[in-house]
Amino acid sequence: QVQLVESGGGLVQAGGSLRLSCAASTGRIVRMYAMGWFRQAPGKEREFVATISWSNTNTRVADSVKGRFTISKDYAKNTVYLQMNNLNPEDTAVYHCAASPIDYCSDNGCWYEYEYGDWGRGTQVTVSS
């Protein structure tokens, strides 16, 4: 099992930026093939935001955040980041990171919830207008 702890959320004005971090720790040797960020706004379904392969530099972001959000990782620190620029009120949500144990996710990441096995508790991002 992978333990994931998110940080970096907060309140920001529209047009501002935040960088989220997700630190992964494992109690034993566990393979992570990809990591991802998802978000859930009040009254809405959880949705995919971004994913990154753990074995190469391939990434993918949702169309709704393309050009504004960037996912990256520090392999040595077992940490994944989500740089969020030009935030708008529609980005307000709880942001969760997740780790995938599925080997094919190592190619380009994965973007479906069922492809992830471990989830963090989330960090709140609130964007004021």
Cβ contact 4:122 at 8 Å: no
For the chain of 129 residues, list the mean pLDDT of each consecutive stretch of 10.
92 98 77 93 96 94 97 93 98 97 92 94 97
- Going by C-beta distance under 8 Å and a sequence separation of 6 or more, which residues neighbour residue 116? 36, 98, 99, 100, 110
What does pLDDT average to over the chain? 94
Cα–Cα nearest to 36, from 18, 58, 14: 58
In this prediction, residue 6 carries a pLDDT of 97
In this prediction, residue 27 carries a pLDDT of 60
In this prediction, residue 29 carries a pLDDT of 54
- How many other CB atoms are found less than 10 A from the CB of residue 46? 16
pLDDT in tens, 94-112: 999 999 999 999 999 999 9
